Amino acid sequence: MADAPPEIEELIALMARLPGLGPRSARRAVLHLMKRRDRLLVPLAQSLAAVGAHIRECSACGNLGTGDICTICADPARATGQLCVVADVADLWAMERARVFAGRYHVLGGLLSALDAIGPDDLGIPRLAGRLGAEGVTEVILALPATLDGQTTMHYLADRLAGVRITTLAQGVPVGGELDWLDEGTIGAALRARRDLE
């Protein structure tokens, strides 16, 4: 049986490295692209080239943008004194989708992890500490996952970022959630964080 041309094999090998794709699914995706050359393959190639050429990491917060400084950091209206620390760019985008936060962000790029040997130096924490004074930050909101690594990172940051108000997101019942489906830890956290009805 004849092999696919080397260009196609190379594309399959590259796509197989994407999350959720293996060699077989990458092969199917490439064949799908080839069948829709004008409507999908060429625009995708152009889009990838544009992203590769223009998108870069914001030198201040780690968000993705087209300039050295992202649009959020460049906006003077967002210098509210509040800095929201998130683990990844996806978390920043989630916060922005919610449209509930008017301050600036800092993307750690991961979490401290004993298992994966990720330490403070891997997360650019000194850069975060440097922003506090430079940008007049009065409150750091730690919007990190309620996991072992997330909480460990939170406590580490709380130690390193002394001299500024440190807050974390509340934990409890999600919107649409039912008590019967919640674990006892979440129920306990929700009860401790109860508030008066207005």
Partner 1 sequence: MTAGAIPLRTRRFAGQASRMIEWHDEGIVLSARPHGETAAILDLFTRAHGRHAGVVRGGVGRRLRPVLQPGGDLAVRWQARLEDHLGSYTVEPLRTRTALLDHRLTLAGLSSATALLALALPERDPHPRLHAATGRLLDLPPDPLPWARAYLAWELQLLESLGFGLDLHACAVSGATEGLAYVSPRSGRAVARGAAGDWAPRLLPLPPVMLGQGDGPPDEIATALATTGWFITHRLLAAHGAGPPPARARFLAEIARLA
Residues near partner 1 (CB under 8 A): 19-20, 22, 114-115, 117, 119, 146-148, 151-152, 155-156, 183-186, 188-189
Closest CB to partner 1 among residues 73, 161: 161
Closest CB to partner 1 among residues 138, 147: 147
For helices 6-15 and 23-35, angle between their N-to-C axes, nearest 10 degrees: 120
The nearest distance, CB 20 to partner 1, in angstroms, is 3
Residue 9 backbone phi and psi in degrees, to 5: -60, -40
The nearest distance, CB 182 to partner 1, in angstroms, is 9
Return the structure tokens found at 147: 């996991």
Closest CB to partner 1 among residues 122, 135: 122
The nearest distance, CB 96 to partner 1, in angstroms, is 21
The nearest distance, CB 16 to partner 1, in angstroms, is 12
Query: Are the C-beta atoms of residues 190 and 181 closer than 8 Å to each other?
Result: no
The nearest distance, CB 113 to partner 1, in angstroms, is 9
Angle at 186 between CA 146 and CA 173, to 5 degrees: 100
Closest CB to partner 1 among residues 72, 154: 154
Distances (CA, A) of 18 to 11, 23, 106, 124: 11, 10, 26, 25
Cα 99 to Cα 159: distance, rounded to the nearest angstrom? 29
Cα 23 to Cα 3: distance, rounded to the nearest angstrom? 14
Amino acid, res. 183? D
Closest CB to partner 1 among residues 14, 50: 14
